[in-house]
Structure 1
């Protein structure tokens, strides 16, 4: 019986793209991976290197090089190609360069007849995701950014160390911009289903030194802690990309904090930001509107305004 192959293209064969491909190969997430890069030799080299994993992997994944215009038959296209900030810069400082790179890539991909789902990791990811949506002409539910998925994972890791538990037993989200204006929605952070603020109230002496503001700061700065020491972050975000892609291809209906286009949700429109969403074979099946506290509502609105200002600076055609 013939079955449909699950095909993924990764555009950008650098550290993030190759880490994503490596995670997908080892987790047997798809049947085919096409590596794309502006330097074809690098795409070819990464594909060859990854193909040599198959003898040690549980399932064979076909990995090969291609171009952006070859993406027409892909189910998912992952965009990692972009501009990296220099020391002292923020993710927003590379917006103009990222927009130029993304514009050409998306034009080439759509010219090849692509009609699947975009998953975007290039920074500044919220604005780049919005740009991909505008340029591709695809419905908003089929353009997804990694957003605060990695920040939420970092939050869970930090809390798991404080409470000596598995990170997967922590539920909660960093919301807003994948950047300086992100915040932790503490009103919705739970451990084993129990609100974190209730735990702290019941065990004041045990956790008297725990500063939630410090945890939120460490969550926000975690990427820079890595970047300043080795020049890139790639294992975590590569795994986040694989996680989102798996949820799409397996129709998992998993709730993940991703960059999503808002059209009235959280009283925001004309912006793309990190919020929890149900991820399925349709892309974003549904956005989850959390009942945020008044202070958290203000933080989300402020973060959205920063992202919106970045979008406006690109002067995109309506």
Structure 2
């Protein structure tokens, strides 16, 4: 069975652990955090779940010298996003944190798969890749997995179906304000979105929905200071696809080498996930408007990357 090490035991990291534990994704979990009290408190709290979940597990306070035989690392370390602060405004503080974590991981014998969900995730996943030199298919950011979930939830509510019935609905590009919704690819029950009512043929609907999805995090942060359940579940979904070698197509942060016309960048795109990590980046057909918006999103991420010393 699998060994998972969490680095960063804040609300996001522990929400991921709780979701992974309930799904029985590993039999061993270690927690690394700069706060020993917070780390140890979460170990004590989460171990109480052993008696109530289908699969028993071991959980403990860990350190970087315990990474050698780990199968998966999830990095959720970083300072939280402030109200009305964009994810990109957090970049300098969290790049410094991810580079130090990368240095410690590289010094170990870790050869597994790294998942990253600290923000701004596109920048941090790129920084981690550059700092470690690990294979690109084994370094996976959360990308726009959460944005895609938010999109499907909202469309499902509008139509009155399950979110799992919304097909080919993706948010790609930056996990942030320049994300791109692929309205042209969405189908429900095999029919395009436009056939589910006149509201879905209105460009104003698309603009409002896209803005809502991109801005939903700010609404949550203003109300309860942080988002964590949705992204925790999203990261557990990514891990489940890998652990069970499913071959699922999941939107996540991947390093591009010519896909979608872009290179040397990490952004959210649909990927096939299996036991080796990202086995394939799925190229979906975008219309001209979507491709243009994706190019703009790329330029925003690239501009930030150029300002950082790797």
CA contact (8 A) 2:84 2:218 kept: no
After TM superposition, give the deviation of residue 124 of structure 1 in Å.
Answer: 0.3
1:15-94 to 2 correspondence within 5 Å?
Answer: 15-94=11-90
TM-superposed CA distance for 1:193, in Å, is 2.4
More displaced, 104-113 or 169-178? 104-113
Give the C-alpha shift of residue 207 in structure 1.
7.9
- Inter-partner Cα distance in structure 1 for 2:20 and 2:6: 11
* SS of residue paired to 1:240: helix
Aligned with residue 224 of structure 2, among 225, 230, 242: 230
Aligned residue for 2:97?
Answer: 101
- Aligned with residue 218 of structure 1, among 212, 215, 226: 212
Measured on the aligned residues, the alpha-carbon RMSD in Å equals: 1.5
Correspondence 1:142-153 to 2 at 5 A:
142-153=138-149
2, 5, 18: which is aligned to 1:6? 2
Match of 2:268 in 1: 274
Q: Distance in 2 between matches of 1:86 and 1:210?
A: 30
Q: Distance in 2 between matches of 1:264 and 1:286?
A: 13
Q: CA deviation at 1:68?
A: 2.8
Residues 69 and 111, structure 1, Cα contact 8 Å, conserved in 2: no
Distance of 1:290 and 1:206 partners within structure 2: 21
Q: 1:301 aligns with which of 292, 295, 302?
A: 295
Match of 1:191 in 2: 188
Paired residue secondary structure (1:10)? strand
Q: CA contact under 8 A between 2:83 and 2:225: conserved in structure 1?
A: no
- Once residues 255 and 190 of structure 2 are traced to their aligned partners in structure 1, the CA distance between those partners, rounded to angstroms, is 29
Q: Deviations over 1:145-180 (max 9, x none)?
A: 001000000000001110010011012101100001
**Gapped runs of 5+ residues in structure 1?**
none
Aligned partner of 1:175 among 165, 168, 172: 172
**Equivalent residues of 1:9, 1:71 under 8 A apart:** yes
TM-score scaled by length of structure 2: 0.96
| 4+ runs deviating over 4 angstroms | 205-210
Say which SS state the counterpart of residue 31 (structure 2) adopts: strand
| Residues 69 and 110, structure 1, Cα contact 8 Å, conserved in 2 | no
Could you tell me which residue of structure 2 aligns to residue 259 of structure 1? 253
In the superposition, the TM-score normalised over structure 1's length comes to 0.94
Structure 1 residues 122-157: Cα deviation after superposition (integer angstroms, max 9, x where no partner): 000001001111111111111100010000000000
Residue-pair matches, total: 309
- Once the two structures are superposed, residues 101-140 of structure 1 have per-residue CA deviations (whole angstroms, 9 ceiling, x without a partner) of 1111111112121111110000000010011111111111
Cα displacement (A) at 1:204: 2.5
Q: Which residue number in structure 1 is paired with residue 239 of structure 2? A: 245
Unaligned runs of 5+ in 2: none
Instruction: Answer whether contact 1:16 1:237 (CA < 8 A) is retained.
Output: yes
Supply the distance in 1 between the matched residues of 2:172 and 2:64 (Cα, whole angstroms). Answer: 31
Partner-residue secondary structure (3-state), 1:52: helix
